Amino acid sequence: MFDNVRHMLAIGVILAFGTSIGARAVGQMHEGAVGDAAAPDESSGEAGDPVERGYDSAQGRRLYTTHCSACHGANGEGRPGTFPPLKGSGVVTKDDAEKHIRVVLDGLQGAKAGGVLYASPMPPFAGILTDLEIAAIIDYERRSWGNHGKLVTAAQVAAERLRSR
């Protein structure tokens, strides 16, 4: 009987401990932990760039779906003449991500994306998304739909944000 009580106390401690870790983890990664395990891992292990870190592809996909896919499409193909494709985009696949980061922070209007002039503007996201969220979206775009751009960090987004126009 006494043993049972101790056993239950131990379980209680484990549960409480586990929950507090879970709560902290949720803030960091949202559903990323579970999603990542299931997602095809396109993120880790670049041949030729062995030190490149991975990224949270599940969070990137979720944020892209919420904020970008209405215009650029779930498959990154955009809508011809109306919204530019991100699949194969020079901005998205270029190693130097400065332009990619700037477009997401500031939006874009009257530029020629891939040589095409788009009538509607791209909205700015600097006031809506954190550096970490923007990095996750950018990395998702750089590793989806056959794209293979170099990954970015939240620190790069933060630095670009500080350099504001």
- Nearest to ligand HEC of 40, 110 (CB atom): 110
Please work out, in degrees rounded to the nearest 5, the angle formed at the alpha carbon of residue 132 by the alpha carbons of 64 and 149: 60
Residues within window 76-95 making contact with ligand HEC, judged by CB under 6 A: 83-84, 86, 89-92
Instruction: Choose, by CB under 6 A, the member of 58, 68, 136, 151 that binds ligand HEC.
Output: 68
Only one of the segments 9-17, 51-59, 100-108, 142-150 lies at the binding site for ligand HEC (rule: CB under 6 A); that segment is: 100-108
Residue 137 interacts with ligand HEC (CB under 6 A)?
A: yes
| Contact (Cβ atoms closer than 8 angstroms) between residue 131 and residue 161 | yes
| Contact (Cβ atoms closer than 8 angstroms) between residue 150 and residue 97 | yes
Instruction: Choose, by CB under 6 A, the member of 29, 39, 108, 154 that binds ligand HEC.
Output: 108
**Integer Cα distance of 13 and 11 in angstroms:** 5
Residue 123 interacts with ligand HEC (CB under 6 A)?
A: yes
Residue 140 interacts with ligand HEC (CB under 6 A)?
A: no
Other CB atoms within 10 A of residue 74 CB: 13
- Compute CA distances 18 → 14, 25, 56, 107, whole Å: 6, 10, 22, 41
- Compute CA distances 27 → 14, 22, 59, 148, 155, whole Å: 20, 9, 12, 28, 19
Instruction: Choose, by CB under 6 A, the member of 100, 102, 142, 143 that binds ligand HEC.
Output: 100
- Nearest to ligand HEC of 32, 84 (CB atom): 84
**What is the tally of helices (H) and strands (E) in the chain?**
8, 2
Residue 157 interacts with ligand HEC (CB under 6 A)?
A: no
Residues that bind ligand HEC (CB under 6 A): 67-68, 70-72, 83-84, 86, 89-92, 100, 103-104, 108-111, 113-114, 118, 120-123, 125, 137, 141
